[in-house]
A and B are shown apart, each in its own frame.
Chain A
């Protein structure tokens, strides 16, 4: 169970996020939507430790994550992707995934020495499995910078999963994807959800959000203005106003 309570953040005088509560169970996809500047990415950055919250709490299975360092939060089971792709572009695809496994190393040997220990063997098969699942096996030896945009997006997700997280935060995974890739993305997210992962999905692509989210939280100007299942959200007056503007003249 992943829980955020009373999370607030302001930059200068501007309140970027006010008193946000969200909770996600394992095996659930929570959509986080809202117009530009509504505080979605701020939320993700607060949860993952890139920003320090002014107040509020973040908990994962009872463990407190609030304002911990980003690497500690990652180790405790929170993985994320970024709005603007942040893969390690000079490293190979395989190494991008392997680097994420480093935190899981129990033996010092796997960290410092490139010998093939049992642990290393286990990691290797996990890497292969991830490469397979994300259709990256054929490019596993290539530097990540040479991948196509869609492949890079997949690699970023695979890397996040290599951490074996309990909760996955996806920041606009659909941006720039073509329809085929979108279908693949929807399928993958649903698959991950079925495997018991909790997922928070920040996304502009509403069709995708409505299709795969169990629940949706809508932010506007840093405040939660609605929460509910896709149907409830699309019929919510406040949400329509937030998205389309004040005059309700649009059919």
Chain B
């Protein structure tokens, strides 16, 4: 039973990470910085709850606000950077955060022992005050926000920015504001998620929030779906459970995991949820006059630039 509860809880945490990646991706920004925010959230919450006795939810709110603010500081200058360069900048941010917490020594005496982040040894003995109810409560709130976004005009504007910034500006959307806001939103989600993680796992180690984890966070979105928020949720759950399903493969299960990720991305280029949705739509359009069968066989062999 404890095993399943743990899986349930870890799934919830991973969903939060996936949603935070998705929030920035909603405006077309492909960010690997979420791990950095996650790390900040984890350490800040741990420090607040364990060392200063703050209640969980207050600490989580402070963590997300702090991360949102850092997201603002990071997001504004990053607007100037596009595409692959932005991704690299976010990698740099996450790495700097990792190095920072890896060197952070801030301990106070509590009771009979020293407690707090101890450099490369990490923060041991974080107060464990979050389990599935706390995790899923936060998740519920965030999903609610995504639902609101998905059905409101603001959500439409966000989608418009993702699809075509120029056209979005031409219909009066303030592209800068929306991009920075979504960057902040993503950072705030990661801040809360990291905080929950710390309060759930009792041990926070900066090395764990590495480039590797950033890649995995991208897997969630790519596998689940990158256009609707249900995608990252599915992706996170599937990829959390997958290694468990592959237990029979013992040491080689992570290899199988990698193989599955590749196959899914090739077979479902939009991610599982959005690809299925897309195919269903296509099927219902089949009778239309569209020249689907006349797709450009030659163009396929050419690089993107070749067919402008």
Interface residues in chain A, defined as those with a beta carbon under 8 Å from any beta carbon in chain B: 48-50, 69-71, 74-75, 79-80, 82, 86-91, 95, 98-103, 105, 110-114, 142-143, 146, 148, 159-160, 162-163
Q: How far is the CA of A82 from the CA of B167 in the complex (A)?
A: 8
The verdict on A102 contacting B173 (CB below 8 Å), with A86-B164, A90-B227, A111-B152 known, is yes
Task: Check B171–A74 contact: CB distance below 8 A.
Answer: yes
State in angstroms the CA–CA spacing of A47 and B161 once bound together.
Answer: 21
Choose one: A79, A80, A102, A143; the contact of B153 (CB below 8 Å).
A102
Cβ contacts A to B, 20 pairs, < 8 Å = A50-B166, A71-B168, A71-B172, A71-B174, A79-B171, A80-B170, A88-B159, A88-B160, A90-B227, A91-B156, A91-B160, A102-B154, A102-B157, A103-B172, A111-B152, A114-B148, A142-B285, A146-B288, A159-B171, A160-B171
Name the one of A74, A79, A88, A146 contacting B285, with C-beta atoms under 8 angstroms: A146
**Given A71-B174, A99-B153, also A90-B159 (CB < 8 A):** yes
Residues in chain B near residue A69, CB distance under 8 A: 169, 174
Name B156's contact: one of A74, A86, A95, A143 (CB within 8 Å). A95
Nearest residue, chain A, Cβ from B274: A90
How far apart are B22's CB and chain A's nearest CB, in angstroms? 15
Q: Tell me, rounded to whole Å, the shortest Cβ–Cβ distance linking B154 to chain A.
A: 5
Return chain A residues, CB-CB under 8 Å to B170: 48, 50, 70, 74, 79-80, 82, 86
B244 within 8 A of partner (CB): no
Asked if B299 is at the interface of the complex by the 8 Å CB criterion, the answer is no
Given A88-B163, A91-B160, A148-B290, residue A105 in contact with residue B153 (CB < 8 A): yes
B166 to A86, Cβ gap below 8 A?
yes
A87 CB contacts on chain B under 8 angstroms:
167
Q: CB < 8 Å: which of B156, B169, B285 contacts A102? A: B156
- List residues of chain A with CB within 8 A of the CB of B157: 99, 102
**Given A82-B167, A91-B159, A114-B152 in contact, is the A99-B173 Cβ separation under 8 Å?**
yes
Closest A residue to B175 by beta carbon equals A71
* Known contacts A89-B163, A99-B157, A114 near B151 by CB under 8 Å: yes
A212 CA to B72 CA, complexed, in Å: 50
Which residues of the partner chain B approach A80 to less than 8 Å between Cβ atoms? 170
Enumerate B167-209 residues with CB–CB distance to A below 8 Å: 167-175
- CA gap between A166 and B16 in the complex, in Å: 45
Place the interface of chain B in its size category: 20 to 34
Residue of B nearest to A70 (CB): B169
CB distance from A117 to the nearest CB of B (A): 12
- Decide yes or no whether B304 CB sits under 8 A from chain A: no
In Å, the complex CA distance between A98 and B227 comes to 19
A49 touches B173 (CB 8 A): no
Is A113 a contact of B159 with CB atoms below 8 Å? no
With a cutoff of 8 Å between Cβ atoms, the chain A residues found around residue B160 in the complex are 88, 91, 99
Whether B152 pairs with A49 at a CB distance below 8 angstroms is no
Among candidates A88, A112, A159, A163, residue contacting B152 with C-beta atoms closer than 8 Å: A112
Near A by CB (< 8 A), chain B positions 84-140 give: none
Q: Which residue of B lies closest to A169 (CB)?
A: B170
* A75: contacting residue among B151, B167, B172, B290, CB under 8 A: B172
Q: State the CA gap A99–B172 with chains docked (Å).
A: 9
Interface-central residue, A102, A113, A142, A163, by most chain B CB under 10 Å? A102
Bound CA span A112–B153, Å: 6
State in angstroms the CA–CA spacing of A146 and B174 once bound together.
Answer: 27
Report the bound CA distance from A105 to B171 in whole Å: 13
Residues on A with C-beta less than 8 A from B285 are 142, 146
Complex CA–CA separation, A75 to B290 (angstroms): 35
Most buried by A among B159, B160, B288: B160
B295 interfacial by beta-carbon distance below 8 Å: no
Question: Which residues of B lie under 8 Å from residue A71 when comparing CB positions?
Answer: 168-169, 172-175
What chain A residues lie within 8 Å of B151 (beta carbons)? 114
- Asked if B281 lies at the interface with its beta carbon under 8 angstroms from chain A, I say yes
